[in-house]
Amino acid sequence: MARAAVNILGIDGSIIDITSLGKADITVQHPGPGQYLVAGTLGMCPPPEGWGYVINQMDAGASVSTSFSDGVLMVTVAKDGEPADLLHSITLHVSVEDAPVPLPPEPVPADPLQQALEEAARLRTIADAAIAPLQDAVDLEEATEEEVALLKGWKRFRVALNRLPDQPGYPTEIDWPAPPA
């Protein structure tokens, strides 16, 4: 069970505002002078959690009584023993049902194209980093036979990455190339 504070305008029973730690679907009807029927609560909030009600000092001479039956909180106001509307407002501290725990959002299915592009870019970055020093060694004519062979392997890998969109199942079914060992 949770608590809520409901501010009700005395003249017509309209809700000024609601502050709630639980459900806040509270409604008020004003069937006649000094009568306010509040639905959507579990009644007044019992002490020590609740402090009852507070009326504006403009209505200091009014007497207020509350009763709860069949899911309706009845607030009755009288002045000089006669039913009378409040000149200003009343704040009620009521019990309300706990707010429902929101369900986690449904996971958004991953976009296969976006995933393929991100993975290809990641692998291309690895290939570029491996190719640069090997290409430098070849350009300076200082590469060993193993480095020349490894350079060709990395370049073949990078070309294969660039040709991924040509595969028949792309982007949902991809035969990923293996990097050189």
Give 65-86 pLDDT, tens digit per residue.
999 999 999 999 999 999 999 9
d(CA 162, CA 72): 70
Residue 66 confidence (pLDDT): 95
122 confidence band (pLDDT: 50, 70, 90) = very high
d(CA 31, CA 24): 22
181 confidence band (pLDDT: 50, 70, 90) = confident
16 confidence band (pLDDT: 50, 70, 90) = very high
Residue 99 confidence (pLDDT): 86
Mean pLDDT rounded to a whole number for the chain: 93
CB atoms within 10 A of CB 6: 27
pLDDT > 80? residue 59: yes
Give the pairing type, strands 53-55 and 15-20: unpaired
